[in-house]
Structure 1
Amino acid sequence: MSSSDKAPAYLGLGSVLAVSVCTLWLAAVGHLDLYINPRYDLFTVVLAIVAVPASAAGLVVVARGHGHSHGDDEDGHGRTHEPDHEHGDGGHPHESDHEHGDSAQARGHRAPARSRASARRATRTVLGAAAALVTVGITVAMLVLPPTTLSARTAQQRSVDSPTLSNASGMQDVALLGSAGVDTSQYGVKDWAALVRQTTDTSALVGKSVELTGFVVPGRGDAFTLTRFVISCCAVDAQPVGLGVVTGDGSGAGGSGSDVPDSGQWVRVTGKLAANPDPSADARIVVRAAKVQDIEQPADPYEY
């Protein structure tokens, strides 16, 4: 088997090795949580540790096997086995004209077959090389370029602040919020967003003080959505959750929006929950902001 025939094996094992090395590097520098839920970190790292030597050993086995397998019509030196039609016993010609014609016809059939086989090998080589370049490029990019988090544009594409956000799970039942013993100081955007959408009576929420961190998804006028991504398994399934925030006079529908930070800016919002001044909105509760402070993106930008 030629090296081009082994291209799929090289590519597959090389891809496994590359992904495993990148996974271990992300874990070592503390960036693995930007791609998967932390509860899967140990499992993922163990698999990567096993995959590195296994894929490396597989590459060695494939490389050592080069040149020891042959096609059905070729010997180990690339020569095609053909019956000797030129000579009989003693090396004297004895074939009939008919036999010579059959031999010439057979050779004529073999030539196109060899051309097609060469074309297939060339195609496999080109595709394998292209795939290998893509794999190497992605690996180098992961090792060299700084990791990035999901953006405000992605949140808008995935319908942030929509009714589907009720899938987020809150930490407490809304009915308990009126109890003096309920501590909501550790509630995040996900928890408040879930509570807002999981109750038909939001009166227990009005007036609750909040201090929340998230990034800005612009809204109308002097309003925006304070947003976080919630990861269940990995960044691919990340769901944006958000709470409406009103600034200025709190109308949420007018004004120039000069008090609204730039899209994607991380902010810390301090204020109180209030009835949504926009009756057409899905969410009936918003944060009436007393203070909106620009901050750097936190080390762990996701909620879980």
Structure 2
Amino acid sequence: MIKLAAFRAELVPALDNLLALKLQHDVKQPTLQAAMTYSVMAGGKRLRPMLLLAVLQTFQADLIPQSLPAAAAIELIHTYSLIHDDLPAMDNDDLRRGQATSHKKFGEAMAILAGDGLQPLAFQWLSDCQLADPLKVKLVHLLAVGAGPLNMVAGQAADIQGEQQTLTLTELKALHQRKTGALIQASLLMGATICQLNTQRTAALSDYATHLGLAFQIKDDILDVTSTAAELGKPVHQDQSANKNTYPGLLGLAGAQDALQTELTAARQALDPLVASTDISLLAEFLTELAN
């Protein structure tokens, strides 16, 4: 049984090294390379790629080395979305992960191009990775659907439009299942695909992902209210000033904390079908971390 802290300590440096080397190799224009690398290597817990790798660790750990490029591809997509979300036309944020956002560092045009470059590069890395071609096709499809206009991009569009109205709890959940949850779900399902898990195990991971994604967003909303910019590495109280729909705004802080616990409990229960044959402690520890 491996602990999440030890898992991260081993694999985040390996992932970061791969990201840095491949960006240097595959991006030749100096300013564009600097802008893309700046945001990708800004730090963070690498939640989404770690979820993919955690599935592999749980079910078939020997596949981790050859799957690192697939995990890296997810981080490229996530970083592109952050760069674009931070732009003046979107959330207009000046700080991300404790440092200046891409458009503040490199200018708005280069930031847009950095995001534009990261998105197709993710699919280049997926198609180049050392996995069987039928698996690569499935991985490309999962990532494209999770990040595309059916899910992540649609969620961002709904978030922008929602600033002009008050959403119901059902509408808010649907928004965040796309904006935040879909890429988290894609990460877990990509891991299930690499391991070629059966339908029951894949369905359990999909259910887990649904509740984990909502829990992650609720926790993020709570931290925007309760934390400082120094603690988060980005501005706080931004959601309220931008008239965004949030869980604390809709339910109150205590109600949002209750909603977080509900989603964490549901996510843990979603893993129950796996317990008889699988050590799910690593996946469960992601939930423990969110609860604290």
Instruction: Decide which structure has greater strand share.
Output: 1
TM-score bracket, shorter-length normalisation: under 0.3
TM, length-normalised to structure 2: 0.23
Higher helix share: 2
Higher relative contact order (CA 8 A, sep 6+): 2
Pick the structure with greater CA Rg. 1
